[in-house]
Amino acid sequence: MTSHALHLLTGLRRSVAAGVIALFAIALLGNGAFAAEHAKAEAKTELVEDSHHGHTHGPAGHPTAAKKFGYAYLTAYMFCLSLCLGALFIVILNHLFDAQWMIPIRRFLEHIACLLFPTMFILWIPIGYLAVDIYPWMSIDPDHDHALHAKAILFNKPAFYGVSCLLFLVWGFIAHGLRSASLAQDKDGAASHTRTMRRYAAGGIFLFAFSLTGAAIYWMKSLQHQFFSTMYGVVYFAGSVWVTAITTYWLLLYFKNRGDLKDVAREVTFHDCGKLFFAFTVFYAYIHFSQYFLIWNAAVPEETFWYVLRENGTWKWVGQLTIFGHFWFPFIFLLPIHRKLNFQAMSMMTGWAWLCHYMDLQFNIGPVLYPDGLSVGIYDVLSLGGILAVLIFMFSRAFNAHPPYPQRDPRIAEAMGVYVEPASSKAAH
């Protein structure tokens, strides 16, 4: 059992798994030590400052237990949501481009996308319940806050809960529509299912773009309701597909080693997954840089306050991790072709991408409650572990209940690298 769990961690070697875990542990410990150092210095200045104007809190106010848990849970939730939405996007992409190389990865991505509803909806309930603790705008009177007054049409409780529920319905509609047609095709092989899936994908891509942006705005950006950025949804999207692409690579490797996908996972499939990850490494950097660059250049206080808060304490280093760990390292590392085909290197990169994407979400969410620096504690570990455990359980159940890849997709032979003579040309002979 233990060895199997370790196997699940890397799909390769225990030493690699141990290496990844050690890196995480060092990062956590290092942060803990740094935070403790910081707290000592803080305590000294507090003694002096307290008598004058009290302790400074973030926009979310004093970190109560409910808030601490709420923020940890929200970060973990947005991380898992990234994987589900990224999976939905890649499935839609498959049908939009009629791509043959994605056939081997499509089935397990369909299952991940279907976790959006109802699993992720049920997992969202704690956020809805704790919303008043998590989102500062919920306890502000719009008549006393100009920014909130101007955005009141979006930021009011009925809209928040209404839109949130609507998002899950939209995702459930697209994801389940795509998967049920795909599963039906396994049985009868009818081409009409491919056309059905194309229709879901063509309409779904628009619904996806709006709904993902809605989720990023309502659940993450609204933590600081004064902030303006038209790029915000796209930044979350780019990061989500980035982390999903490398996770897809790893899952393909895992299911190939386990035997489920050994007939369809070819070298070129891994290469293409690696290229997708590489493309989104550049795309994410491009999008996040554009957001930062425009705000930096314009220097309007309504926008700069968001990044100013994120330059305090250890948040500055989390930002550096996004620049160097999220972009430069994977970019330089994956330039040569052979690295994209090196399973050990790519498994390590999966762990690294998870760390960087999680830290990116911490960077978005954390400073509102912890303005002095990154704070990762037991709530974060429990939330992420708990949500992931539920998702992995639901995913394995779905994956094991159905064929591991689309059995009778019109492009399956092509994906397997086999040439099948069309029936029409056979008749001609």
Partner 1 sequence: MNAYGLMAVFETPADAMHAAEQVRDAGYSKWDVHTPFPVHGLDAAMGISNSKVGWFTFIGGATGYTTGMIMIWWMNAFDYKIVIGGKPMFSPFYAFPVSYELTILFASFGSLIGMALLNRLPRLHHPLLKNRRFCQGASHDKFIVVIETADPKFNAEETRKLLASAGSKHIEMVED
**Interface contacts to partner 1, rule CB under 8 A:** 289, 292-293, 296-297, 299, 335-338
**Residue (32 or 336) nearer to partner 1, CB:** 336
**Residue with Cβ nearer partner 1 (171 or 292):** 292
Whether residue 276 contacts residue 87, with contact meaning beta carbons closer than 8 Å, is answered with no
Shortest reach from residue 9's CB to partner 1, in Å: 31
Shortest distance in whole angstroms from residue 86 CB to partner 1: 26
Least Cα distance to 372 among 41, 13, 16, 7 occurs for 41
Given the complex with partner 1, which of 289 and 343 has the nearer CB atom? 289
Are 395 and 112 a contacting pair, CB within 8 Å?
A: yes
* Dist. CA 424–CA 415, nearest whole Å: 21
Burial of 405 by CB count in 10 Å (0-12 exposed, 13-18 middle, 19+ buried)? buried
Rounded CA-CA distance 255/378 in Å is 31
* Nearer CB in complex with partner 1: 51/425: 425
C-alpha of 384 from chain center: 12
Q: How far is the CB of 182 from partner 1 (least distance, A)?
A: 28
Is the Cβ of residue 173 or residue 289 nearer to partner 1 in the bound state?
289
Task: Measure the CA–CA gap between 217 and 215, rounded to whole angstroms.
Answer: 5
Provide the minimum distance between the beta carbon of 267 and partner 1 in the complex, in angstroms, as a whole number.
Answer: 11
CB atoms < 10 A from the CB of 70, how many?
Answer: 26
For residue 68, what are the contacts with CB-CB under 8 A and spacing of at least 6? 369, 377, 379
Prior bond of 158 cis (ω within 30°): no
The amino acid at residue 286 is Y
Closer CB to partner 1, residue 200 or residue 270?
Answer: 270
Q: How far is CA 334 from the centre of its chain?
A: 21
By beta-carbon proximity to partner 1, the closer residue of 293 and 393 is: 293
Q: How far is the CB of 362 from partner 1 (least distance, A)?
A: 22
CB of 297 to partner 1, least distance (A): 7
- Closest distance of CB 320 from partner 1, Å: 12
